[in-house]
Amino acid sequence: MSTSFASPGRKPRVAVIGAGAFGGWTALHLLRSGANVTLVDAWGPGNSRASSGGETRIIRGTYGPRAPYVHMAARALQLWKENERRWNQKLFHRTGVLWMASPDGAYEKASLPLLREAGIEFEELHDAEARKRFPQINFENVKWSIWEKESGFLTARRNCQVVLEHFIAEGGEYRELPATPGPIQGGEMRALMLPGGVSLTADQYVFACGPWLGKLVPDVIGERVRPTRQEVFFFGVPAGDARYTEAQMPTWIDNGPSGVFYGIPGNEWRGFKAADDTRGPETDPTSQERIPTPDAVRHIREFVEFRFPGLKGAPVVETRVCQYENTPDENFIMDRHPAAANAWLVGGGSGHGYKHGPAVGEMTAQLVLGKKQPDPFFELARFAKAKPPA
């Protein structure tokens, strides 16, 4: 069902809650499509608590058999680059992405036809060729890799700020306040509640609240978005050694036998970033202390020293503690609120959402403006077929 609450000749008024990768880009696309948009965030775009608040995020097309994301990644990269040119501001670093294949290679083999279909350039690098190109990597246990030379990384928290700056410059309104969904009557949300009993009314409401979405909309989302604690480490590289910087080091993902590890060469001289993708314990994005645990430091150091032997003894120069906002199937949510035809729920990035921000924003804007129907892949109804929320 397509709903437009705007009267003819009047711009639709949309409130977007959350200025992270999903909400910021949604607000910008809505604005560029002719809506009157107010963007609201409790702590600001890419803030230290937000899932988009890290230094950098990977953008790649290798996604195993999950075709929708391969196409979305291709579209998102196009939009990142388009806006980079439009704003004359660097958002994307083309380092190439090296995906080291799992022992059976099934996930990676499933990726190849999809990469081809989406027009994402890649090469299959077998053992000897990979060693020749990247002598700083120990390829033990890795039979082959996918090399996406046009992919790379995005500066994460900074790009959220850049999106907000341009959203405001292009005519959007921004308010830094916590918001909660207002009453639902007659199948519509009537307002957004702000502190001090103040309400904000709009024709449509988009909740893009990342790891907070479950608590904010407990009856519909609840445990369907579960935040898990994730620790990230930056190692200091030897002075003058270009092997571990953007000059020679690709962005990488190791889909190895003991889980997925990933890393990004230092942005803004931050060091060599490495992290374990394994989901950590469940956490609260508002109150969790962001101090790394000694066990995680030991674990990542062991991995880094094995895969990048030249970094043996490298000190940890910086750390981050963040959280993934996981759905049960690790697929995003982009859907209408089941009880309010003018409210939309967008989130569940599940550790891989950032890169897709511009594409998610474009798709959500089309939904809100009644130009498209929700895609069943991202609909809430898929959970009804599985376990109900706790």
Footprint of ligand FAD on residues 204-243 (CB under 6 A)? Answer: 208-212, 216, 230, 232
- The span of 104-112, 135-143, 310-318, 351-359 binding ligand FAD (CB under 6 A) equals 351-359
Query: Of 1, 42, 45, which is closest to residue 21 (Cα–Cα)?
Result: 45
Query: Of 31, 8, 387, 41, which is closest to residue 207 (Cα–Cα)?
Result: 41
Query: In this complex, which beta carbon is closest to ligand FAD, that of residue 118 or of residue 129?
Result: 118
Residue 259 in tokens: 């889980």
Q: Is 22 among the residues that bind ligand FAD (CB under 6 A)?
A: yes
User: CB neighbours of 109 closer than 8 A, spacing ≥ 6?
Assistant: none
CA-based angle 291:295:299, to the nearest 5?
Answer: 115
Residue 278 in tokens: 């394994």
Query: In this complex, which beta carbon is closest to ligand FAD, that of residue 79 or of residue 322?
Result: 322
Footprint of ligand FAD on residues 265-294 (CB under 6 A)? Answer: 275
- 40 forms beta bridges with 17, 175
Query: In this complex, which beta carbon is closest to ligand FAD, that of residue 6 or of residue 39?
Result: 39
SS3 at position 76: helix
Q: Is 27 among the residues that bind ligand FAD (CB under 6 A)?
A: no
- The span of 142-150, 178-186, 236-244, 370-378 binding ligand FAD (CB under 6 A) equals 178-186
Q: Is 55 among the residues that bind ligand FAD (CB under 6 A)?
A: no
Give the whole-angstrom CA distance, residue 369 versus residue 356. Answer: 20
Q: Is 174 among the residues that bind ligand FAD (CB under 6 A)?
A: no
Give the whole-angstrom CA distance, residue 36 versus residue 185. Answer: 23
Q: Is 155 among the residues that bind ligand FAD (CB under 6 A)?
A: no
E-strand stretches of 144-195: 144-148, 152-155, 173-175, 180-181, 184-185, 188-189, 192-193
Q: Is 361 among the residues that bind ligand FAD (CB under 6 A)?
A: no
Binding residues for ligand FAD (CB under 6 A)? 17-23, 40-43, 47, 50-52, 54, 57-58, 178-180, 208-212, 216, 230, 232, 275, 322-324, 347, 349, 351-355
